[in-house]
Amino acid sequence: MAKELAGKVAIVTGASKGIGAGIAKLLADKGATVAVNYSTSKEGAERVVSEITCNGGKAVAVQANVSRIKEIEHLFSEALKAFGRLDILINNAGIYEFGPLESVTEEFFHRLFDLNVLGLILCSQQAVKHFGPEGGSIVNISSIGSLITPPNAVIYAATKAAVDAVTKSLARELGPRKIRVNAVNPGIVVTEGAISAGIPESDARRYMQSNTPLGRIGEVKDVAPAVVFLASPEADWITGETLAIAGGLK
């Protein structure tokens, strides 16, 4: 396998399972050294690190709730302490919760926006401080929900629409500093979190699958390669883009 990311260091937030874990492992397969962030699942993060190291890669697990600035600073400090540089940030950590308008509360609003939007912005802020003079790459994990705006998802869809806007704005702001900012917008993907939330068996899943030209919901292996491509030198002239990875669902 080509090691086009050899010598690069990446931080992947929310990487103890699901899409984040898949991205971390593929980055390592391509030669990157990876800081595997987790909030609560130490066991999951250590499993990801173990898989990477057993395959000859380098990785470390770092605990941090990336909705809190002090913990974000700790994450970046530990990654820099372990690996000495930073080239790639994957903003994957996020929450998806759904409910009708009547169920929205201040606490619900702030829980989703603090992690999905504020945490992403604060992590990007830290990354920019530590990227070298050659620049860096930020890839944000958004959602097809920002584009199809499903019912009972007013707060979640709003957070992901914000992620898309942040991506485009930061791409313009940071381009002169050789920092690229892109996003991917996955559709429904089979992950541990989606399964525990009952999403693969839900009416929403069946509706979305029936309206997807490729006729199926996604897997982690459908998403991770696009993220790694956007993070890599092969995408050096791509910034400010949001790439839907949803089997053609619009």
Q: How far is Cα 50 from Cα 58, in angstroms, rounded to an integer?
A: 9
Q: How far is the CA of 150 from the CAs of 23, 100, 145, 207, in angstroms? A: 26, 11, 6, 11
- Return all residues near 204 (Cβ < 8 A) that are at least 6 apart: 98, 150, 188
Please identify every residue annotated as catalytic: 156
Q: What letter represents residue 171's amino acid?
A: A
Strand ranges (E), the chain: 9-12, 33-38, 59-63, 88-91, 136-141, 179-186, 242-245
Please provide residue 141's backbone torsions phi and psi, each rounded to the nearest 5 degrees: -95, 105
Q: How far is Cα 73 from Cα 136, in angstroms, rounded to an integer?
A: 18
Query: How many C-beta atoms lie closer than 10 Å to residue 150's C-beta?
Result: 14
- Total residue length of the chain: 250
Q: How far is the CA of 45 from the CAs of 41, 83, 157, 190, 195, in angstroms? A: 6, 18, 27, 19, 19
Q: Which residues pair with 11 in a beta bridge?
A: 35, 89
